[in-house]
Structure formats: structure tokens, C-alpha cells
Amino acid sequence: MKEKNVNLYLRILNYTRPYKWRIIVSLVASMGVASTDAILAKLVQPFIDRLIVAGDHGLAQWVPVMVIGLAVLKGSSMYVQRYFVQTSGQLILMDLRNDLFRHLVNLSMRFYSRNSVGVLMSRILNDVNVMQSVVSDVLVAAMRDSVTLIALIGVAFYTDWQMAGIALLVLPAVAAPVVLIGRKIKKYSGRGQEAMGGLTSVLEQTFSGIKVIKSFSAEQREDNNFRSANKSYYNFMRKIFKYDAGSSPIIEVISAFGIAGVLWYGLDRALSGSMTQGQLFSVLAAILLMYAPLKRLTRINNQLQQAFAASERVFSVLDEPINVQDKPGALHVGRLNGAVTFNEVNFAYVEEPVLKDFSLQVSPGEIIALVGPSGAGKSTLIGLMSRFYDPQSGTIFIDGHDLRDLSQESLRNNLALVDQETFLFNDTLRNNISYGCPSASEDMIFDAARLAYADEFILSMPNGYDTEIGNRGLNISGGQRQRICIARAILKDAPILLLDEATSALDTESEAKVQMALGNLMHGRTTFVVAHRLSTVMHADKIVVVDQGQICQIGKHHELLAQGGLYQKLYNMQFQDES
């Protein structure tokens, strides 16, 4: 095994530690299984020499008892062994999935903008399942078969070391193909798992984009995509089977050489009388019994290699560094006042700078409207305040604290975000509103809904607040979805409000109402509002015009209008109808 495999194995082994007692019980039971085979091989000698050849009647009565006794011993050992090793296998997988999930939810947004959801799901489901073979099947079989093998080798050597030696001469010849096949299998298994990730990715994309697919009549194209991803998985599996199926026949042929050698040598000695027939058959039985576990062990190696390939993928996710995380001793703050300062912030998602030396000072309770062309960096500013990303240079302060010094939890407790992408959970309306404060009372939930002008439509739904909304809230309209998101933010009662196009999906009338509600809400809170309507912008204490990641104008509506420039252009294009 290469060093890398050894490390992988040690890492997997680490997961077995909490279940060591189950595994030890199983190991002891596997010795029970192994010993019955060895006892059987050993008993062949008295059976032939004393019973068949010498005709000992007293012994004959014991034979049926022995047969049943051995079967019961083997059967009960097998039961205990399988049960304990398989439950430990599942427990280990459960721990792995839990660790993966916890790590994944803690990874930063940067990680999520790089990785497809389908591929990540495949890691937790498919890759961990492939590892199942290593922790359950392989543990069962490897333990049982290696113990059996050792016991049988012992019996063979004890009975006749020379013949046993001849039989084992072939072992080194077995090693080369086993290693080679294992390597191929690991390689193709890794690619197969990658293809499986591609497959789940196609699924995820298809199901979440089904409306677009239908509206562009792209069903056939997606069908082809799926078929080709599916075929690519099959191709890798076929390669694995090609090598896996080859391993047993190779061992079979190589072991035939060993058996032929033993027979050639043993028959000669038995015929010349230097060895009893019983001894000959006893050694032969041990040797023949030995090849079966040997063959199985090589198959196990194949499975093990597949599991290694999968665990490499699983551990690569676990090793993914968490970019945005709490400092040791991060500050847990209570309710903040909401003074926000951007100090020469530079930020890029990839390489292209998105914010350039961005500086801005906001006093507690101020309402800041962020306006600017699409792609200017408005949502990015909101994202940085939420610490979804850390800037490459420069600092963002809230109440004088560098965001990176605060615990993420206490920071986010002070923020209420209504995002440009409205997301609702597949749950009741009530639970969606109270998502940020699960302990909120009925009345608090109703109040928040009322303020967001959501209660009217909620009460008209068949089950009111207990109406289950479908996946991602697709069963309600865009404007309704947005009002639920606003209610969710209102309920949170945070000192800093981040509203990213929060009312963009509302008609003018309900927007005016929600605006009024938000107006009440904004009172006494620092608010950043990315807005596309003049009414919102006019109420702001400061309008910040962002262009290409920089502030190009800042001030009140009439001041900016008087300056001309980008604001006036935006005003002419977007706002004028309203005024």
C-alpha cells in the first residue's frame, strides 16, 4: 500500500475508535468462525486414520454430534460478527455524514460559489455509501478471512510444514496482480464517483430549473445530458468490473500451481508410506480451504481500493478550509447601535476587483440608499456586511469592532437581511416567518406578518399560517414570497436592516404599504436599502451612488440631482415616471 493509502486507512480507522467494543466483539466472533474451519481441517486426520482406515466404532457416534456442534458454533459466531460489525459500519458512516454536513454548513459562501450543489450532495450520499463497503463488508470479511487464513496456515504447518511451505510458495506470485488490479480499480472508482457527482449535478440543475427547461422546450436536450452523464458513470463501472472480475481467475490459476505442487510432493510421500493418508488429506483440506479466503481477500482489496477513492473525495471536503470563521476568543456582542464604517475595502470574488478602496461612514439610525447600475457591487456590499466573505484588504467596522473580531453568531444576530433572492423553506408559512427566532410567540409572528402586509393573503390561504408552502416557496407568488421574507426580517428586530431589492416584486400599491411598514421599522435602525424606486430613495438620509465598485456620488436626492452625473442619468431612466 502506498503511504497515501495508509494515511487514508488511519483516518478511516480513527472513525472506528468510538465503536471499538462492537468491533472487538465482532473480532472475537470472527475467531469463532475461523476456528470452526481450522477444527474441521484438523478433524479430517483422525476421521480418516482412526475411523475409515482403522474402523473405530466408538468415534463414529461422535461424528454427527461434531457436525451439528460445529455448525451451531459457526452459525452463532457469524451472527454476532455480522450484526456488530455492520452496525459499527453504519455508525461510522453516520458520523462521517454528520461531520461532512457540519463542515459543509460552516464553509463560506466562496466555497459555495465554486461548487455545485449536486456534486456536494453526491459526496454526502454516494461517496459515503461507497465507503460503506470498507467499514462494514470489508471489516466483516477481512477480519474473518484473515483470521481463517492464519488459522489454516497454522494447521497446515503444524501437520506438515514442508507441504505447507510448497503451497505457500505461490503467495508472492499472487501479490503482483493483486496490487496492480487494486491500483486500476482505485483510479476508475475515483472517476466513477466523479461521474456520479456529475449525474446528481444534472439532476439538481434539472429539478431546480424545470420551469426554464420547459419554457425553452429543452426536455430532449436535458434528457441527452442525463443519458450521457449516466453512460459515463457506467463506463467507469465497466472498467472496475473488468479488473475486479479478473482478480479471482488469476488467483485461481496461480493457486492451482500451489495445489499441484502439494499433490505432486504429498502423493509421492503418501504412496511411499512416509506419511499417512489422513495427514495428506488434512494438509490438503487446510490448503484448499485456505484458497477460498485468499481469493475473497483479493476481492476485498478491490473493494477497499474503491472505498479509498471515495474517502479521498470525502476527506477533501472535510479538509476544505473554512475561510470565514470565528477568531479564537471572538467577541460575543449583545445589541449593537449600528454605526457602520467601511475603511478602504478592496474585494474580489475571483480576480476582477468588485469593490475598490471603498470607504463609507454611517451613523446609528441612518438610512442609506445604495443605487447604481447592475453589477456595480451593491449586493456585494450587503454580503460583506453580513460577513459572507471577508475583504482582501481594508476593514469593515460595526460600532468600532472589526467584523472579523466578532463572533459570526453575535454579528448576524444584529443584522436582518432581506435578500435579492427570496428563499423560503419547504415548511409552513408560520415557520418560515419565525425562522430567525424560533421562540417567537404567535402574536409576534402575526404582528410581523401584518407589518409586512402579508397577513391578508396568509389568512386567505386554506390553512392560514399553517399552510405548507412547496419547495423553495414556489406555491406562492413572487410578491407574496417577498412579503414573507420581509416579515421574517421584521420579526428578527435587529438594529441593522439590510434590504436588497426587498420590494422589487411588489406592485406599486402593496409596495407603498410595505414601504410604509419598512419606514416605521427603519426608524431608529441603521438601514442599507438597495432600491430601484424613487420613493424609497427619497426617504434616505444619504444616497450612495455606486459605480464599478466605487462611490461616485453621495448626498441627498436634490443635491445629487443638481450635480448631474450618474445619479441624474439613473433618475432619468428609472425614477422619472414615478415623480
Ligand X SMILES: Nc1ncnc2c1ncn2[C@@H]1O[C@H](COP(=O)(O)OP(=O)(O)OP(=O)(O)O)[C@@H](O)[C@H]1O
Minimum distance between the CB of residue 438 and ligand X, rounded to whole angstroms? Answer: 29
The three cell numbers of residue 512 are 407603498
Give me the 267-306 binding string for ligand X, x by CB under 6 A, dash otherwise.
----------------------------------------
Q: Which does 375 bind (CB under 5 to 8 A by kind): ligand X, Mg ion, none?
A: ligand X
Q: Does 323 bind ligand X (CB under 6 A)?
A: no
Q: How far is CA 275 from CA 54, 152, 169, 265, 326, in A?
A: 16, 20, 21, 11, 76
Q: Which stretch binds Mg ion (CB under 5 A): 239-247, 330-338, 412-420, 567-575?
A: 412-420
Minimum distance between the CB of residue 566 and ligand X, rounded to whole angstroms? Answer: 13
Which one, 15 or 347, has the nearer CB to ligand X? 347
Q: How far is CA 303 from CA 139, 182, 183, in A?
A: 11, 8, 11
The three cell numbers of residue 380 are 456585494
Q: Does 377 bind ligand X (CB under 6 A)?
A: yes
CA-closest candidate to residue 423, choices 409, 435, 441: 435
Q: Does 379 bind ligand X (CB under 6 A)?
A: yes
Q: Which stretch binds ligand X (CB under 6 A): 7-15, 256-264, 373-381, 458-466?
A: 373-381
Minimum distance between the CB of residue 515 and ligand X, rounded to whole angstroms? Answer: 19
Minimum distance between the CB of residue 368 and ligand X, rounded to whole angstroms? Answer: 14
Q: Does 380 bind Mg ion (CB under 5 A)?
A: no
Q: Distance between alpha carbon 478 and the CA centroid of its chain, in Å?
A: 31
Query: Burial code of 536-566, b = ≥16 C-beta within 10 A, e = fewer?
Result: bbbbbebbbbbbebbbebeeebeebbeeeeb
| CA gap 19, 236 in Å, rounded | 34
Query: Burial code of 111-140, b = ≥16 C-beta within 10 A, e = fewer?
Result: beeebbebbbbbbbebbbebbbbbbbbbbb
Q: Does 104 bind ligand X (CB under 6 A)?
A: no
Q: Does 113 bind ligand X (CB under 6 A)?
A: yes
Q: How far is CA 373 from CA 111, 368, 376, 570, in A?
A: 27, 16, 6, 8
Residue 438 CB contacts under 8 Å (≥ 6 apart), including other chains: none
Q: Does 379 bind Mg ion (CB under 5 A)?
A: yes
| CA gap 403, 229 in Å, rounded | 43
| CA gap 372, 396 in Å, rounded | 21
Q: Does 380 bind ligand X (CB under 6 A)?
A: yes
Residue 389: what are its φ and ψ, rounded to 5°? -135, 160
Q: Which stretch binds Mg ion (CB under 5 A): 163-171, 296-304, 372-380, 549-557?
A: 372-380
Q: Which stretch binds ligand X (CB under 6 A): 317-325, 377-385, 483-491, 567-575?
A: 377-385
| Beta carbons within 10 angstroms of residue 157's beta carbon | 17
Q: Does 375 bind ligand X (CB under 6 A)?
A: yes
Q: Which does 96 bind (CB under 5 to 8 A by kind): Mg ion, ligand X, none?
A: none
Minimum distance between the CB of residue 109 and ligand X, rounded to whole angstroms? Answer: 7
| CA gap 29, 143 in Å, rounded | 10
Q: Does 434 bind Mg ion (CB under 5 A)?
A: no
Which one, 151 or 354, has the nearer CB to ligand X? 354
Site for ligand X in 346-365 (CB under 6 A): 349-350, 354
Interaction site with Mg ion (CB under 5 A):
379, 420
List of residues contacting ligand X (CB under 6 A): 113, 349-350, 354, 372, 374-380, 420
